[in-house]
Structure formats: structure tokens, C-alpha cells
Structure 1
Amino acid sequence: MKRAALLVSMIGLAACQAPGPISIPGITRAPQSAEEALEAYYRGLPDELYPVAPEGLPLPSSDTVLTRILVGSCLNEEKGDNQALRSVAAMPADLFMMIGDNVYGDTDGEAYRTGDADLTELRESFADLAARPDFQAVRKAHPMMVAWDDHDYGLNDGGKHFAFRRESERIHERFWGLANKDVGAWPGTYYARTFGPEGQRTQIIMLDTRYFRSDLTDTDAPGAAGKERYMPSSDPNQDMLGNDQWTWLENELQKPADLRLIVSSVQVIPNVHGWEAWSLLPEERARLYGLINETGANGVVFVSGDRHTAFLYRADDLLSYPAYELTASSFNKSYRDTTDEMDAAQIGAGYPKENFGSLDINWTEGTVTLAIHASDGSTVEEATDKFR
């Protein structure tokens, strides 16, 4: 690990010099960035440094009709056995989506500050997750799809300027068995899967809101309601998804589907708070809504995590049909028992205790019921959307 820290120092010095050869094995020209220079080092790391999730169930076949999907986020892998995870394992479902902060691999000392290019803490966190009996039970119970957020990305509130993001991506994709899938062939962790025949077709789009995202705009009133940490930006050059992911998303939205779940690690619809969310990049969020409308993508429901509180939302003026969002957070990172947060689009009170979410699809009626569940599996709040 000391070698990695030394390498980072070498790269920092090299980046300040005029173009010319530097003595880093495997690089034949001057690196254009610290990321590029680190690639040679990362390519030489042994496979045993990459933790792997316990063997899980394969995804449903492409013709499988989905009727229940479970979702959750924010799991501190160092805490004890978790009732919410146990409830997920015990509840019948066709699929489970773990959608960010699946570990907290940046809390002991962020690699960005300490120069730990090996991302030691992140690797250890994933190894700890793999060893948890409650997580192993979930892996045995349900096929899984995953997204990442900042704490399993490796940098709190991090975006595209995280110098070690390429290695973070490797750790993520190797752990979840994605390295040899389509998502492993491009930068970022976004991917999509479709299940069911025509008329009963569910498309799940897993966005990457970390790898390409611009820096956010710091608040001018820290702690103030609606401006707690950040505030919306008027900069038209700020980005959430990056050009390649935007193009990919446009193509995905043009594919046939009856119900589409757009999974974003951070919230999409609400405007009331100043924490990370699409509302901080208003032009990017308008672009998302516009793309859904322009492609004629029907049946879109947003799914998010991150907030350490579960919420349901409905907005009637964003798409050509009512837009719903389910925020499921968190498994075991609850900070309070009640919340008074209330967005204009919010359905009922938020639920800040340990929780997870579900989406129940009734193909006969053409509806999906979004629900928030307490850690014991009981239903706290629900809303039904007619997606046909």
C-alpha cells in the first residue's frame, strides 16, 4: 500500500511537468491524467485483492414475467445482523435491487484525502459485506441487480473528479459479477435489463449518477432548510450522466416496454432539500424529463435511495402521465425516528427508521403498487400507479 501512495506522489509531480516520458512501468508516453497514469499500476494488481460476492441466483430469463421487485439502499457493513435484510430474504420476490451505498467504504479515511490509490478501505468493506450471514441469505433468496452511490464509489458526494474512480469501478464490477457483462466493457456502471413478453414487459434501467457527474454547487447558507449542503446550479455545462450514458439512455428508452423502472441512486422528483439530488442540476433533470417525453417512453417509474429516509412521490406536470418515485433508504443507517420533510410532490410522511421498498405489478389491472416497508416487513406507506 505504501507503493501506491508513492505512485500517487510521482503522478502528481509528473502532472505538473511539461509533456515527456516518466518512469512508470507499462506507460510508453506521458500520461494525460492521474487516472491514466494509475492504469498501469492497477493492471498489475493480483485478483485476490478483489473481493467477490457470495454466489447468487441468476437473473430471471428474458421471458419471465415479473410481479414483485424489492429494493433497498444504505447498508453499513460493519453493523450487526440486519432485520430489514432478513425481511428482504424472507419475502417472496422475482428480483431484488440494491441501489447504492451498499457498503460504506470511505468513512475511516477517504482515499481522496489520504492518497490511498489501492482503495484499501473500500476493498475491506466489500469483503465484510460478503461475509455477512444476512447478506448471504439475500443472495440465496433473490436474483439481484445493483447500482452504486458515493459510499460504495469511494468518495462522499463524489463525482467525475474522483481520481481513483476507475479502480473503484473494477472493485464494484468484480464484486457483483459484472466485469464480464456488457457493463464491464464501458466506463461507468450503468446497464439495463428487460424481462417478460410483449404486454408484460418490464425494463429496468440502472443509471450511474457518480462516474460522470460534475461537482455540485456549495450552498451559500449551510444548514438552512432547502440549502443544507448544496444549491441548484445555473451552469449549463454541468452534467449528471455524461455524453455516452445520455446517448445510451435515449436508445434504451426507445426499446419496447410496458413498465420502466429508472433507478437513480439519488432522488429525481423532490425539490425541498439541499442534499444530493437531480434538483441541484435543474437543466440535467429537465433533460431527463424531456428525453422521456420525446422518446414516447411509457410506464416510467423512478426508484432512488441515498436519503436515510423512505419517501413516495407523485408529480402530474413532469411527464405526459403522472410520474411516481419510490425512495427506499436505509437498511441500517437510520438517524432519527421521525421527519417533518414534506415536498410538494410527496405522498404521506417520510419514514426514517430502517426500511426497504417493494414494487408489486398487477398485469391484469395494469398497475404497480409502490410500498415502503418497516424492517419487519410491515407496510408503512403505499401508492398505486396505473402505468397503462
Structure 2
Amino acid sequence: MNRRKFTTASAVFGLFGHRVAGKELPIHQKLGKGALDVSLRILNLHGEQPKSIQNLFKASHPILFAEKNQTFAELMRHPEIVKRCADAGMTHLGGPMLGCISETGASVWIRTLKPASVTVEANGRMFGPVDSLEESDLTAVIRVDGLKPGSETGYRVRIDGKPIRFNGNTVIRTTSDKPGITRIAWGSCWHRWGLGHPQMDLVRKRRPSALLMIGDSAVQDRLGKTGAARFDVMLRDLTPRWTTFCSEVPVYATWDDHDYAGNDIGGLVEGKFSAEDRSNVRDLWMQTWVNPQYGFEKERSGIFFKTQIGPADVIMIDNRYFRDHRKGLNSFLGKAQMDWVKKQLLESKAPFIILSCGTMWSDYVSNGKDSWGRYDKEGREELFRFIEEHKIGGVLLISGDRHGARGFTIPRNNGFKFYEFGGACFGGRIGPPAKDPAWKTQLYGIAAEYAFSEFDIDSSKPDPEVTMRLIHESGKEIYSITLKRSELTPA
């Protein structure tokens, strides 16, 4: 296919530009220079918001920025904000958002305007109540269960007994318990504007069982200032296209550098990002998304998890929390998380395992900048060798971070090769070169274009198959490949 070419431009968010509607926009000129000005322009970037919503957003800015760790609970104590919410006709502050999909149900996340009792009505039954508390920053997660495998069920959220006002399609589509095709969408680097881009409608209409969000989603470079980060979360939750999407497509989210702290930051940085900052950011993450687990919950560390989506086991690792700047073995994931990953791989019985990392598995792009190749080549080799020695089949590596989308094979000395699919193009940002003649094992490459990735997993065949697609915002297929499980199994 013929693809449009774009020129580079500087941006207030870093060195890279950002494209809207086929044109490259220098954000510092088009979106404004101040923090509030930029956020307001992003709020209206893909469609003008009602004045009442804009007024609420503007009024929230000085309050959430007033203290480093300001919360939504504190925001909603302000009479002016309560009035602005009423003027906008709001019945809740965020959601509903689905997660933790299974054959029999899903979890529903919502943020209320005040502490409240939340229930979900589905299939003629009432689930809950679950209380949203100030301690949970006004969030509640309600588990809906007992649904039929492979079914579609509408649901309604009630707060203190009253149905919320919501224009989205609130529906739960459970995964099937029979062999067949399961679709899983994935990618990274929405930043703050990509969640409202029209391609989110295209992803939704393709009806994936879930969306895996592998970093740089919504929150932008807040360096542990969780009040400012909550302002970014508010921008997410006031974006109609996002709320419509997540009310019917379950999402699973891990962070990368920009939503962890800032560009290329991992672990702790003296004088810039402390252990307290890291703990506060993790708490915010747990209140913002609806994952099945959050790292080592007893030790309150990390946000990694394993889940099952139809015939796929999904392992989403945390490549930021435990990073050690001294580099060397276990400096990337930490020893405890590395041991956990090995255990999950060894125990998996699924035909395919999606193993996600916020940044690159290979060293092709930017010479592995901020990735395994710079921090922990030994750990990466240890993990790859573990997969090979135990003949763990069907491992699909997915990654993000480097703006654009590039795929590679990673050849091994024993003749086996891993497949790495990179998809950091949900925000349409310019990044490193899309392709390079020196990258001899490259499968595809794009930059400065909106696109998304998906897997179709067919578990009905004797040798199960997976088809990976990279799809342009126009709906045209940029790249696809179909692989059998046997091809992804070390000999």
C-alpha cells in the first residue's frame, strides 16, 4: 500500500512530533505552551467538548496541582468542583471500564463523585455492592460472574441505587470455552491524545476480547507528582471516545517510562524520583486501571501480572519499577520478578504465551536504547535460554517505547528464532527510522502514522495458529504473518 510521508517537527513533549489528520503539528505552536493550555487543547483535539466539561477541567487544574500528591477525593471536597460536575450533568468521574475478562464474566471499574455504594446489574442479577472510598480514591471494582461462555450481556452501573448517565455501549463479551478464534489487540504510546483518536473506534468495532496497553498511556512525565498525574487521568476519563471504548473492550495496562516517571527513567533516581514517589505512583496505578494483579502485592512492589484470555496466557512484565542503574544481571526486572516470570512460563499450558515488555526485547532500534541491551543482556539471554531449554512453545514477544512500529525475528545460535512484534504507534508520533538496511531480520516498519496491532489465535487446529496484523488507522492492513505453534517451539 502507498503510505503518506510526513516531516519531522519538535514538540513540547520531547524531540518527536505528532501528527493529526494527515498533517504534522508542531505541538508547541498548535497546542499552546502552558500545562493547562496544552491539556485543554488535547481535550478538544478530536472533537470540541461541551463548555461545562471544559469548565470542570479548568477548575480542577489548580486544585490537583496545588499539592504533590493531591487526590480525586480531595478534589471532590471543593464545592466549586461539585457544582461544576452538577452543571455538566455528571453522575460519576470515570468509567465504567472493563477488565479481567473470562469465560464467565468481567470486572467493572468506576470512579464516583463521592464515597458511595456501587452495584452492577447484568443478566437479571445484581452484583455488589462495593463501596467506593476515599482510601481507594473514590474507585470501586465490581466482579460480574456467572455469565455464559462466548455470550454478550449488557450491564448497568448503579451508584447509591441510581443508574449512571452514560452514552457508551455497556456490554460484556465473555471468552469462549470452545476451540476457535480469539482476537487480542495491543500496542503502546497513546500518550495523552491517542486515546481520543478515531482509530479507537476502529479497534472497538473489530471486537477484540481485550486490549493490552503496554506503556505510555494517559499520564505524561509527572516525576512522582501524582496530583498532576491525576489531572492526566481526568483528561483520559473525560474523553468520550475512550470511555465508549473501555466500557465494552476489557483493558490490561502496564507502564513504561512516561507513565512511570519520565523519559527513560526506571527504578529510583536520586534527587528526582524517590522510593516514596515510586510507591505513590504504584498506588495511583492500582486506582486507575483494573488489572487482575499488581506485582508482589504483599510486598507492595511492581505492577506485573499473568492472566488468561481465551487460548492465550498473557504475561505483562514491569520493566521500570525494579530497574537497577548499576546494570548487569537482574538489573532490568529484578531477581524476584525474573524468577516469577520463569515460573509462569513453566506452568503455562496455553498454546500461545504473549510476553509483553514496555520497551524493546531486541537491540535493533536505537541500539537497544533504555532497554534489555543496555541494562541486562545477561538476563535476557538467561530468559531466552530458559524458554529453549524447557521447550516452552508459542511465545510471542511484544514491545513498545520506540515510537512507530517495527517487527523482527531474533535468531538464536541453535537455529531457533524468537519473533518480536513492536507496536508503539497508537499516538502517531515520530520516532527513530522506520526501517534500516542493517536490520537484516526486520519484518515491517512504520513511523509517524497511527496504527494498531492485533493477534488472532486459532485454537481449533491440530497445530494452533496465530495471525499477527498491523492495521493502519484507515483500516488497511500494513503487515500480517501467520505462525504455527510448532514454528514457535524450540526444537
Q: State the TM-score bracket (shorter-chain normalisation).
A: 0.7 to 0.9
Q: What CA deviation, in whole Å up to 9, does each residue of 1:347-380 have, x standing for no partner?
A: 1333441111011112225111111111233211
Contact 1:103 1:151 in 2 (8 A): no
Please identify, of 78-87 and 161-170, the stretch whose mean Cα deviation from structure 2 is larger: 78-87
Q: Give the structure 1 partner of residue 229 of structure 2.
A: 122
2:215 maps to which of 100, 103, 107:
100
1:339, CA displacement in angstroms? Answer: 2.9
After superposition, where does 1:168-207 map in structure 2 within 5 Å?
168-178=281-291, 184-185=297-298, 186-196=300-310, 201-207=311-317
CA–CA distance in structure 2, aligned partners of residues 355 and 60 of structure 1: 24
Q: Give the structure 2 partner of residue 8 of structure 1.
A: none
Letter in 2 for 1:349: G
Q: 1:291 to 1:92 in 2, by over 3 A?
A: same
Q: Give the structure 2 partner of residue 55 of structure 1.
A: 96
After superposition, where does 1:279-318 map in structure 2 within 5 Å?
279-280=373-374, 281-317=376-412
2:477 is aligned with 1:379: yes
Q: Give the structure 1 partner of residue 266 of structure 2.
A: 159
Q: What CA deviation, in whole Å up to 9, does each residue of 1:109-159 have, x standing for no partner?
A: x53xxxxx5433212111111111111122023111111111111222111
1:326, CA displacement in angstroms? Answer: 1.4
CA–CA distance in structure 1, aligned partners of residues 292 and 458 of structure 2: 34
Q: Give the structure 2 partner of residue 252 of structure 1.
A: 344
Contact 1:68 1:359 in 2 (8 A): yes
Q: Give the structure 2 partner of residue 138 of structure 1.
A: 245
Q: 1:322 to 1:165 in 2, by over 3 A?
A: same
Q: Provide the secondary structure at the position in 2 that maps to 1:263.
A: strand
Q: What CA deviation, in whole Å up to 9, does each residue of 1:274-329 have, x standing for no partner?
A: 32222223112112212222343211000111111111222342787431121111
Q: Give the structure 1 partner of residue 421 of structure 2.
A: 326
Q: Give the structure 2 partner of residue 349 of structure 1.
A: 445
2:369 is aligned with 1:273: no
1:215 maps to which of 325, 339, 362:
325
1:184, CA displacement in angstroms? Answer: 4.3
Q: Provide the secondary structure at the position in 2 that maps to 1:329.
A: coil
CA–CA distance in structure 2, aligned partners of residues 319 and 122 of structure 1: 46
Q: Provide the secondary structure at the position in 1 that maps to 2:232.
A: helix
Letter in 1 for 2:366: H
Q: 1:384 to 1:170 in 2, by over 3 A?
A: same
After superposition, where does 1:225-236 map in structure 2 within 5 Å?
236=328
Q: 1:158 to 1:318 in 2, by over 3 A?
A: farther
Q: Give the structure 1 partner of residue 22 of structure 2.
A: none
Contact 1:311 1:347 in 2 (8 A): yes
- Which segments of 5 or more consecutive residues in structure 1 lack a partner in the other structure? 1-40, 112-116, 217-234
1:150 maps to which of 239, 250, 257:
257
CA–CA distance in structure 1, aligned partners of residues 471 and 204 of structure 2: 13
Letter in 1 for 2:339: T
Letter in 1 for 2:302: G
Q: 1:135 to 1:262 in 2, by over 3 A?
A: same
Letter in 2 for 1:253: L
Letter in 2 for 1:372: L
Q: 1:151 to 1:265 in 2, by over 3 A?
A: same
Q: Provide the secondary structure at the position in 2 that maps to 1:54.
A: strand
CA–CA distance in structure 1, aligned partners of residues 415 and 292 of structure 2: 37
Q: Provide the secondary structure at the position in 2 that maps to 1:347.
A: strand
2:462 is aligned with 1:361: no
Contact 1:76 1:104 in 2 (8 A): yes
Q: Give the structure 2 partner of residue 219 of structure 1.
A: none
How many residue pairs get aligned? The number is 318
| TM-score under structure 2 length normalisation | 0.59
2:356 is aligned with 1:263: yes
- Which segments of 5 or more consecutive residues in structure 2 lack a partner in the other structure? 1-66, 77-91, 104-148, 150-174, 487-491
Larger RCO (alpha carbons 8 Å, 6+ apart): 1
Q: Provide the secondary structure at the position in 2 that maps to 1:289.
A: helix
Contact 1:95 1:142 in 2 (8 A): yes
Letter in 2 for 1:347: L
Q: Give the structure 2 partner of residue 26 of structure 1.
A: none
Letter in 2 for 1:367: E
Please identify, of 134-143 and 74-83, the stretch whose mean Cα deviation from structure 2 is larger: 74-83
Q: 1:351 to 1:249 in 2, by over 3 A?
A: same
Structure number with higher strand proportion: 2
CA–CA distance in structure 2, aligned partners of residues 67 and 76 of structure 1: 27
After superposition, where does 1:24-103 map in structure 2 within 5 Å?
47-48=73-74, 53-61=94-102, 64-65=175-176, 67-78=182-193, 81-103=196-218
Q: Provide the secondary structure at the position in 1 that maps to 2:409.
A: strand
Contact 1:183 1:191 in 2 (8 A): no
Please identify, of 309-318 and 74-83, the stretch whose mean Cα deviation from structure 2 is larger: 74-83
1:183, CA displacement in angstroms? Answer: 5.9
Identity %: 23
Contact 1:53 1:176 in 2 (8 A): no
Q: 1:259 to 1:237 in 2, by over 3 A?
A: closer
